[in-house]
Amino acid sequence: MRYDLAVIGTGPGGLGAAIQAAKLGKRVAAIEKMAVVGGNSVNTGTIPSKTFREAVLFFTGYYQRGLYGFSYTMKDHVSIQDLTYRCQQVVQDRGHVVKSQFARNGVSLLFGEASFMDSRHVRVRAPDGAAEIIEADYTVVSTGSLPAHSPKVPINGSTIVDSDGILKINKIPKNLIVVGAGAVGVEYASFFAALGAKVTLVDMRQHVLEFLDREIFQGLCYELRQNGVTFRLGEEVTEVVTEGCGVLARTRSNKTIRGDLLLYAVGRVGSTAGLGLESLGIAVDARQRIPVNDSYQTVAPNVYAVGDVIGPPALTATSREQGRRAVHHALGIPIRTSTELLPIGIYSIPELSMVGKTEEELTESQVPYECGVARYRETARGKIIGDTSGMMKLLFHAENRQLLGVHVIGERSPELVHIGQVAMAMGATLDFFVENVFNYPTLAECYKVAALDAYNKLGDGASAAKEVVSAKKAP
């Protein structure tokens, strides 16, 4: 069978590529080796973990504790089944939505393992062993990634698990060891801490999540410590063994850490095994990821790769956009929009989000800036929802007043950040936020509060306000 485009993998990157090509009138086939569509995003990663977070917040009444007391909970005994039931329902629903999107756009779904015969021919081996060869002018590889493993950490699925297995456990641990303080490790550490588990977060690096604004990161550390998380940074785990019904981890500094469960979350590797990339002259890196150029094109000109399989930023939203852009490049269709302003969200408890520059980056680049801060507790909405520890930080250029960065910690921050993202894309200045009206009561008010804070720090006062009015009246 011949197609204009073949997509290997039906996660966000594959979906974005397939739908874009279909909308451009191309004949498209999407190949999926699992029995369900949606890739890791729908089935094992993004959707299950974020749904798990919402279930934790609901059953624990986490944000109501500020009003009703720390012991407040929606249910006396929360089980892992209570939490994963909601995950299963949402995953199933999202899978149906993705499958429907393929169907509505006329994309042919082929289930089986794909491998390249050459750059234009892909063999698809179905679960029953039957093989089919398809021909495609272009192919987009979007096979995602797998949790990285180590011989020092024997994953057994019960007391020692990776991020794909954490939601298959039988009960909520009382003592959890998390090895790896990246986004995934921090998220799950915060979830189980909110459930009352004592969590030890271990990472061999002294500084983690370095892309975050340091003040925002310290705010996260404070909240996690308040919930009972112990940090062991700069500690390398050298051995993990089962011990009775639990697990024991030893570090290079001779520390011994005991727990009921250990989550190993030290990065991910590209899911490239069995694709036959070597037949195309494509060599993967040490983490099994596919090298691509700025247009997501591999060394085989008509083969592209997008999403987690090419490495950072490895986000659901960016993966889908990469798929769309790869198709545009393959078909010679220019794209006029920019992807420089990539928002980042970490769905821990509390949530974090950012877009643009950090204070550290601006300082290093010697860019003059002023910082405006708003606290959730300064807004009525923050009190209403029970999150009084959240904070927004806006960074403005001290001379031209343009918004340079948005950093938020607190509930709904991954949604709040998009207001700043749009404002930055449009070249908005501090005055935009000062002079415009935000609904009341909302967390979006933080933009105005933070802008006013920066306004005062710049020493503008009444004289600056008069200058703005005069400028508007000028012909």
Q: Does residue 277 sit in the same domain as residue 292?
A: yes
Domain presence at residue 6: yes
Q: Does residue 88 sit in the same domain as residue 122?
A: yes
Distance separating alpha carbons of residues 223 and 314, to the nearest angstrom = 26
Residue after which a domain boundary falls, among 279, 301, 330:
330
DSSP state of 150: B
Domain presence at residue 291: yes
Task: Kindly tell me if the per-residue pLDDT of 461 is higher than 60.
Answer: no
Q: Does residue 128 sit in the same domain as residue 250?
A: no
45 Cβ contact list (under 8 Å, min separation 6): 163, 164
What mean pLDDT is predicted for residues 357-363? 96
pLDDT at 196: 92
Residue 434: band (very low, low, confident or very high) from pLDDT cuts 50, 70, 90 = very high
pLDDT at 467: 47
What mean pLDDT is predicted for residues 15-26? 97
Distance separating alpha carbons of residues 120 and 32, to the nearest angstrom = 18
> What residue has token string 């909520």?
172
Residue 69: band (very low, low, confident or very high) from pLDDT cuts 50, 70, 90 = low
Residue 244: band (very low, low, confident or very high) from pLDDT cuts 50, 70, 90 = confident
Looking at the chain, the whole-number percentage of residues with pLDDT higher than 70 is 93
Q: Is 312 exposed, middle or buried (0-12, 13-18, 19+ CB in 10 A)?
A: exposed
How many domains is the chain built from? 3
pLDDT at 470: 45
CATH number of the domain that residue 203 is part of: 3.50.50.60
pLDDT at 68: 64
Q: Does residue 91 sit in the same domain as residue 165?
A: no
Residue 63: band (very low, low, confident or very high) from pLDDT cuts 50, 70, 90 = confident
Q: Does residue 357 sit in the same domain as residue 289?
A: no
Q: Does residue 326 sit in the same domain as residue 312?
A: yes
Cα end-to-end span (Å), the chain: 66
User: Which tokens in the block code for residue 290?
Assistant: 């596919």
Phi, psi of 312 (to 5 degrees): -55, 150
Question: Per residue in 247-304, pLDDT tens?
Answer: 999 999 999 999 999 999 999 999 999 999 999 999 999 999 999 999 999 999 999 9
pLDDT at 459: 82
Phi, psi of 326 (to 5 degrees): -60, -40
Distance separating alpha carbons of residues 304 and 321, to the nearest angstrom = 13
Domain enclosing residue 358, as ranges: 350-473
Domain presence at residue 154: no
Residue 66: band (very low, low, confident or very high) from pLDDT cuts 50, 70, 90 = low
Alpha helices in 386-460 (DSSP H): 413-425, 430-435, 445-457
User: Which tokens in the block code for residue 273?
Assistant: 């095994």
pLDDT at 74: 64
Domain presence at residue 89: yes
Task: Kindly tell me if the per-residue pLDDT of 463 is higher than 50.
Answer: no
Q: Does residue 8 sit in the same domain as residue 131?
A: yes
Task: Kindly tell me if the per-residue pLDDT of 462 is higher than 50.
Answer: no
User: Which tokens in the block code for residue 124?
Assistant: 């698809």
pLDDT at 388: 86
C-beta of residue 194 within 8 angstroms of C-beta of residue 60:
yes
Q: Does residue 212 sit in the same domain as residue 249?
A: yes
pLDDT at 64: 77
Grouping H, G, I as helix, E, B as strand and the rest as coil, residue 374 is strand
Domain presence at residue 343: no
Where does residue 125 fall: left (phi above 0), alpha (psi -120 to 50 degrees), or beta otherwise? beta
Sheet containing 198-203: order of strands? 160-162, 261-264, 175-179, 198-203, 229-233
Q: Does residue 397 sit in the same domain as residue 383?
A: yes
Task: Kindly tell me if the per-residue pLDDT of 226 is higher than 60.
Answer: yes
Residue 77: band (very low, low, confident or very high) from pLDDT cuts 50, 70, 90 = confident
Question: Per residue in 148-201, pLDDT tens?
Answer: 999 999 999 999 999 999 999 999 999 999 999 999 999 999 999 999 999 999
> What residue has token string 């550490």?
189
pLDDT at 338: 63
pLDDT at 347: 96
- Establish how many alpha carbons lie within 13 A of residue 342's alpha carbon, considering only the half-sphere containing its beta carbon: 15
C-beta of residue 57 within 8 angstroms of C-beta of residue 26:
no
Residue after which a domain boundary falls, among 266, 287, 317:
266
User: Which tokens in the block code for residue 265?
Assistant: 């979350």
The chain-wide mean pLDDT, for the chain, equals 93
Q: Does residue 142 sit in the same domain as residue 14?
A: yes
Q: Does residue 125 sit in the same domain as residue 14?
A: yes
Q: Does residue 279 sit in the same domain as residue 134?
A: yes
DSSP state of 136: E
Residue 471: band (very low, low, confident or very high) from pLDDT cuts 50, 70, 90 = very low
- Establish how many alpha carbons lie within 13 A of residue 339's alpha carbon, considering only the half-sphere containing its beta carbon: 14
C-beta of residue 30 within 8 angstroms of C-beta of residue 338:
no
Distance separating alpha carbons of residues 281 and 424, to the nearest angstrom = 41
Question: Per residue in 299-357, pLDDT tens?
Answer: 999 999 999 999 999 889 899 999 999 999 999 999 876 667 899 999 999 999 999 99
Domain presence at residue 337: no
CATH number of the domain that residue 401 is part of: 3.30.390.30
pLDDT at 408: 98
Least confident of 216-225, 232-241, 368-377, 461-470: 461-470
DSSP state of 334: -
User: Which tokens in the block code for residue 106?
Assistant: 């006329």
